[in-house]
Amino acid sequence: MRGFKYLAVVLVVLLSFSLAIAEEQKKEEPKKEEEKVTGSVSLGIYNRYVFRGYELSSSSVIIQPSVTLSYKGFSLNYWGNLDTDQKETQSFKPKKVGSKELNENDITLSYTHSFGKLSLTGGYIYYGTKYTDETEEVFLSASYDIFSKPTLTIYRDISSYPGTYVNLSFSHSFEVYKDITLDLAASFGYFKGDNNYWRTYDSNTSEYTGKKYNALHDGKLQAGLTIPVLKNLTIQPVVQYWFPLSSKAKRIVDGNSYNPNGHLDDTWVAGVGITFSF
């Protein structure tokens, strides 16, 4: 009986000691940051708007507001395009030349999950365009966190203009002075149209009755700076050079663009973005 009492006392002492150690270890463990909603508000001002190589404005002042909210991998983004002096291009026909209009309002919903250095993102985009029919896309993107951060994204139009657009991009930032970085990027796109909208211009019929557009499409080279102004406020001057990736993308037949959305040519975009993060 006495042996049992001694054993009970030893067990109580050991248990108390173990609990004390566990409590100390718990105190020493870093507290996990409380997950909260993050986001950004930005405003870009540029000399023109180019989308996947298509020139959708020219010699104007383009204002592009954007708001993003993120929580636990989910993100919701609004993006707009205000053209202060609409002019016709090979890919854009405004309702009234010279007018000012907020001619595009896009909504993107996405989810991102990381597996070590690999990040996968899937999502949905609604394009609220006033210069053409509104449309919708779904997309899937994969990026790998190494030098140049290669990213492959596949977009699929599921509404007005069925087709697939594939984009391969690279980007890297170099610190140049204190917290100021030089940001370099490049991207290359391939496009394949599926329905009759994408038929190409045929000189035999003088109409868009040719093969459906399918080509290496657009390329973009970009350089900019990220300049911190305040703790959460940055300014980003940027310059972009867009160019066609193939003869089909820039082809003109009898004075008409081979591509029903207009031919691509060498185009420069310059401007500045202001971003507030929270």
| CATH label of the domain that carries residue 143 | 2.40.160.40
The reported pLDDT for the residue numbered 26 is: 53
The answer on 170 and 72 residing in a single domain is yes
- Kindly state whether residues 89 and 220 are assigned to the same domain: yes
Residues 15 and 134 in one domain: no
**In the chain, what is the straight-line distance between the N-terminal and C-terminal CA atoms, in Å?**
67
Are residues 257 and 223 part of one domain? Answer: yes
Alpha-carbon gap, residue 151 to 141, rounded angstroms: 7
- pLDDT band at residue 6 under the 50/70/90 scheme: very low
Q: With 0-12 CB in 10 A as exposed, 13-18 as middle and 19+ as buried, what is 34?
A: exposed
Cβ atoms 171, 182 nearer than 8 A: no
The helix (H) or strand (E) run that includes residue 4 is: helix 2-28
Radius of gyration of the chain (CA): 27
Q: Which helix (H) or strand (E) holds 143?
A: strand 135-144
Concatenate the DSSP letters of all residues of 32-101 into one string.
Answer: PPPP--EEEEEEEEES--EETTEE---SS-EEEEEEEEEETTEEEEEEEEEESS---BTTB--SSTT--E
Bridge partners of residue 184, in order along the sequence = 172, 223
Neighbours of 25 (CB within 10 A): 9
Q: How many domains does the chain have?
A: 2
CA–CA–CA angle 64, 228, 52 (5° rounding): 35
Residue with the two structure tokens 């980003």: 236
The reported pLDDT for the residue numbered 30 is: 52
| 14-18, 111-115, 126-130: the lowest-pLDDT one | 14-18
**pLDDT band of 13, cuts 50, 70, 90:** very low
CA atoms lying within 13 Å on the CB side of residue 96: 6
pLDDT of residue 11: 40
Element of type H or E holding 194:
none
Looking at residue 274, what is its pLDDT?
98
Rounded Cα distance between 136 and 161, Å, is 9
**Same-domain pairing of 27 and 70:** no
Q: What distance in Å separates the CA atoms of residue 161 and residue 198, rounded to the nearest whole number?
A: 8
**What tokens does 85 get?**
């002096």
Give the domain extent around 2: 1-31
Position 3 pLDDT exceeds 50: no
Question: Are residue 118 and residue 175 in the same domain, yes or no?
Answer: yes
Is 143 in the same domain as 22?
A: no
pLDDT at 5 over 60: no
Query: What pLDDT was estimated at residue 23?
Result: 56
User: Is there a single domain that holds both residue 60 and residue 127?
Assistant: yes
- 106 and 11 co-located in one domain: no
Per the document, the length of the chain is 278
Say whether both 270 and 185 belong to one domain: yes
The pLDDT, as a whole number, for residue 35 is: 84
Q: Are residues 20 and 64 in the same domain?
A: no
Do 18 and 82 sit in the same domain of this protein?
no
pLDDT tens, residue by residue, 248-264: 999 999 999 999 999 99
The rounded mean pLDDT for the chain is 91
Shortest CA distance to 182 belongs to which of 192, 174, 190? Answer: 174
What average pLDDT score do residues 5-22 get? 44
Q: What is the pLDDT of residues 174-185, one digit of tens each?
A: 999 989 999 999
